[in-house]
Amino acid sequence: MHKAGFVNIVGNPNVGKSTLMNALVGERISIITSKAQTTRHRIMGIVNGEDFQIVYSDTPGVLKPHYKLQKSMLGFSQSALTDADILLYVTDVIDSSDKNADFIEMVKQHAGDYKIILVVNKIDLVDETKLIEIVDSWHTILPEAEVIPISATQKFNIDPLLKRIKELLPDSPPFFDKDALTDKPERFFVTEIIREKILLNYDKEIPYSVEVVVEQFKEETKLIRINAVIYAERDSQKGILIGHQGKSLRKVGMEARKDIEAFFGKQVYLELFIKVEKDWRNRETKLRNFGYHISD
Ligand SMILES: Nc1nc2c(ncn2[C@@H]2O[C@H](COP(=O)(O)OP(=O)(O)OP(=O)(O)O)[C@@H](O)[C@H]2O)c(=O)[nH]1
């Protein structure tokens, strides 16, 4: 049986999230260190094993202390919370729970949607008595969570944490092509960015009916040339995607190009094509393979 799921990492700045990520992900995988932000999450790394796939991502901004958790942010934060399989709430022995009261409340509200692991980092800085006190207090604040104390820099308790994450992952086939992603993560991000722009620019039916495939990704010294195909299911959708005098598609292309340029820190020449592939949904596997095909 294969396991796969989304592990969403939240926590205040400076508690050691990056250090923990490196320790968890280490050399086990193709780490994706890019700063690009996709629709809801920033994917930080994907760990592939023979029978599992862990997709780590974080929710930027959720816990920044200078961001008073305002009403307007709530929707975003909640959606980030609801689609995690496992929530990795990272804190450290210095962090105080008071300033996160609002966020903790939200975590609790969604406790039925995911498993929560509360990671107390930097335990190398305190003695045992203090640590027990801290762990106990978190048990009280968030009884829904399993508390795992670690030291990311000392690599203490990292393996048991990883083991627990694997145990808690739901049974599922992988979400991302395991091999293709390992050596070509950039295609995945291009696809994600284009998909995001489609989501933002068209009504619901369209985003769910299209598949984006990067057919060419050619990196030159000063420029990246990308050809991507948006597959629609019907001719009518093709028309909507293109829009009046090509206006809609141009807008998607322009917005996507800007983000892709920011992502790679390089000028990008992006060409978008639309093709109709009737009933592509029933041929998903074929399409997925095709999507990672390198044409140059
Ligand atoms: N003593 C100790 N320091 C640690 C440990 N883990 C991380 N640190 C230190 O804590 C600081 C912050 O670590 P980061 O991994 O950058 O923290 P972060 O949560 O990713 O920070 P942001 O990127 O600001 O959100 C660094 O100086 C780390 O070396 C630990 O286990 N013990």
Closest to 21 in 3D by CA, of 79, 73, 72, 88: 88
What is the predicted pLDDT for the residue at 281? 59
Beta bridge partners of 46: 30, 55
147 alpha carbon to ligand 1 midpoint, in Å? 19
- Ligand 1 pocket: which residues have CB below 6 Å? 11, 13-19, 121-122, 124-125, 151-154
What is the predicted pLDDT for the residue at 13? 74
What's the predicted TM-score (pTM) here?
Answer: 0.63
| Positions at the binding site for GTP | 11-18, 58-62, 121-124
Query: 115-121 and 86-92: which strand pairing?
Result: parallel
Atom of ligand 1 nearest to the CA of 125: 1
Inter-helix orientation angle 185-201/247-264, to 10°: 140
What is the predicted pLDDT for the residue at 174? 84
Distance CA 50, CA 214 (A): 26
Neighbour-count burial of 260, counting CB atoms closer than 10 A to its CB (0-12 exposed, 13-18 middle, 19+ buried): buried
Instruction: Please choose from 19, 35, 64 the residue to mutate so as to test ligand 1's pocket, defined by most ligand atoms within 8 A of CB.
Output: 19
Distance CA 26, CA 36 (A): 20
Atom of ligand 1 nearest to the CA of 19: 15
Atom of ligand 1 nearest to the CA of 90: 19
What is the predicted pLDDT for the residue at 40? 40
Neighbour-count burial of 77, counting CB atoms closer than 10 A to its CB (0-12 exposed, 13-18 middle, 19+ buried): buried
> Is the four-CA dihedral 169, 174, 179, 181 of positive or negative sign?
negative
Neighbour-count burial of 121, counting CB atoms closer than 10 A to its CB (0-12 exposed, 13-18 middle, 19+ buried): buried
Atom of ligand 1 nearest to the CA of 150: 31
What is the predicted pLDDT for the residue at 34? 37
What is the predicted pLDDT for the residue at 155? 92
Mean pLDDT by 10 residues, the chain (296 residues): 89 81 61 37 71 78 44 49 85 81 82 92 96 94 95 94 96 75 64 86 82 86 93 89 95 94 88 85 53 36
Could you give the dihedral angle defined by the CA atoms of residues 76, 115, 142 and 83, in that order, rounded to the nearest 10 degrees?
A: 10
What is the predicted pLDDT for the residue at 180? 43
Instruction: Please choose from 153, 157, 161 the residue to mutate so as to test ligand 1's pocket, defined by most ligand atoms within 8 A of CB.
Output: 153
Instruction: Determine contact, residues 91/12, Cβ cutoff 8 Å.
Output: yes
Phi and psi angles of residue 234, each rounded to the nearest 5 degrees, phi first: -135, 160
142 alpha carbon to ligand 1 midpoint, in Å? 23
The 3-state secondary structure of the chain reads: CCEEEEEEEEECCCCCHHHHHHHHHCCCCEECCCCCCCCCCEEEEEEEECCEEEEEEECCCCCCCCCCCCHHHHHHHHHHHHCCCEEEEEEECCCCCHHHHHHHHHHHHCCCCCEEEEEEECHHHCCHHHHHHHHHHHHHHCCCCEEEECECCCCECHHHHHHHHHHHCCECCCCCCHHHHHHCHHHHHHHHHHHHHHHHHCCCHHHHHCEEEEEEEEECCCEEEEEEEEEECCHHHHHHHHCHHHHHHHHHHHHHHHHHHHHHCCEEEEEEEEEECCCHHHHHHHHHHHHCCCCC
Instruction: Please choose from 12, 14, 151 the residue to mutate so as to test ligand 1's pocket, defined by most ligand atoms within 8 A of CB.
Output: 14
What is the predicted pLDDT for the residue at 60? 52
The structural domains of the chain, ordered by start, are 3-168 (3.40.50.300), 184-291 (3.30.300.20)
Smallest CA separation from ligand 1 atom 14, residue: 16
Structure tokens at 91: 């804190």
What is the predicted pLDDT for the residue at 219? 86
95 alpha carbon to ligand 1 midpoint, in Å? 12
152 alpha carbon to ligand 1 midpoint, in Å? 8
Structure tokens at 104: 């903790």
